[in-house]
């Protein structure tokens, strides 16, 4: 397994290099001259040239890309065009708020969705199953923005049950600001995940070994947990692993609307202000996380299913 993991991680290096090259070309060639965007409309030619020299933008593109690769290898992503702060320090400071929002939401959504999916699969093609699936489709059909606005207006403004906007860096105090956006994130993702898990569990619950266990008089709870849920772990793990890279980068809309200083809000602000170093760093971070979680996903396959062999 160790050799497999090392081989897969090394195989991900060309993918990451490809991401860095595409991102660099899109931002520096298609995106225009960063110095012009930083300087503003009233800047003189001397101001623009000074900015190009300060950020190394006066070099040929090939050497700029080599400088970027050097930053990637040394984990020094340069300075933000907008704030002049080191990008690495900005990421370290804002990854905590993003994880505080997305990690509890993922755990709660996964537990609720799997539980509801099990109930729906147990009563498949009955009134309860149809009702749960109808609610899931309704939840999926409502815009993300509607949940945010209704949550802020009805629950925070009218009922005064939650904070509308803000964030506290204290580990305990931050939760008064995070509970409402976490609820919104759970409600938004619950419909999609419930439908997916329900279809997976229905496929598993109709297999011969489950029918045999029921015919032998096995307890329903034992059938659902030992014979159904256990054998459906691979698609469940895959679904969760796909979500992991986005935990770090947070939720762009939620962080912006609720004033949470996470990486999602930072990325949105960087796109709006053409802050290329921040965009490049966060894009690279997502690509690295995708490579790592893909390898971790395969390892978990082998852990939960003895029939899987990593070669």
Encode pLDDT of 243-291 as tens digits: 888 787 767 888 888 988 888 888 888 888 778 888 889 889 888 989 9
Residues 87, 281: Cα–Cα separation, whole Å? 8
Residues 44, 300: Cα–Cα separation, whole Å? 57
The rounded mean pLDDT for the chain is 86
| Residue of 25, 24, 190 whose CA lies nearest to 108 | 190
| pLDDT single digits (tens) 64-76 | 888 888 888 888 8
| Residue of 290, 291, 256 whose CA lies nearest to 271 | 256
91-304, which class in CATH? mainly alpha
Is the model's pLDDT at 48 over the cut of 80?
no
Share of the chain above pLDDT 90, in %: 20
| pLDDT single digits (tens) 200-219 | 998 888 888 888 888 888 88
| pLDDT single digits (tens) 30-39 | 666 777 777 6
Q: What ranges do the domains of the chain cover?
A: 2-74, 91-304
Region of poorest pLDDT, from 41-50, 79-88, 264-273: 41-50
Name the H helices within the chain.
Answer: 2-25, 34-39, 45-54, 61-74, 87-122, 127-141, 144-150, 175-205, 208-215, 220-222, 233-249, 252-258, 263-272, 276-304
| pLDDT single digits (tens) 122-176 | 888 899 999 999 999 999 898 888 999 999 999 888 888 888 888 888 888 888 9
């Amino acid at each position: 397994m160790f050799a497999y993991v090392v081989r897969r991680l090394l195989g991900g290096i060309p993918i990451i290099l490809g991401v860095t090259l595409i991102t660099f070309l899109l931002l520096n060639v298609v995106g225009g001259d960063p110095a012009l965007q930083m300087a503003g409309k009233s800047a003189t030619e001397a101001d623009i040239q000074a900015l190009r020299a300060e950020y190394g933008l006066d070099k040929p593109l090939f050497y700029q890309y080599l400088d970027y690769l050097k930053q990637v290898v040394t984990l020094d992503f340069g300075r933000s065009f907008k704030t002049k702060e080191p990008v690495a320090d900005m990421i370290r400071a804002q990854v905590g708020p993003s994880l505080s929002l997305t990690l509890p939401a993922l755990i709660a959504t996964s537990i609720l969705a799997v539980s509801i999916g099990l109930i729906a699969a147990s009563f498949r093609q009955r009134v309860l199953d149809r009702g749960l699936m109808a609610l899931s489709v309704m939840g999926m059909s409502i815009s993300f923005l509607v949940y945010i606005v209704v949550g802020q207006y009805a629950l925070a403004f009218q009922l005064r049950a939650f904070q509308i906007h803000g964030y506290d860096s204290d580990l305990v105090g931050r939760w008064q600001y995070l509970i409402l956006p976490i609820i919104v994130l759970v409600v938004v993702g619950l419909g999609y995940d419930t439908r997916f898990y329900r279809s997976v569990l229905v496929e598993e619950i109709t297999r011969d070994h489950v029918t045999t266990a029921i015919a032998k008089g096995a307890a329903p709870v034992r059938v659902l947990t030992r014979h159904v849920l256990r054998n459906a772990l691979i698609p469940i793990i895959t679904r969760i692993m796909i979500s992991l890279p986005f935990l770090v980068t947070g939720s762009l809309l939620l962080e912006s609307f609720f004033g949470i200083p996470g990486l999602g809000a930072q990325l949105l602000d960087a796109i709006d202000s053409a802050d290329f170093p921040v965009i490049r760093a966060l894009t690279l971070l997502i690509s690295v996380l995708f490579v790592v979680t893909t390898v971790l996903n395969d390892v978990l396959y082998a852990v939960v299913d003895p029939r899987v062999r990593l070669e």
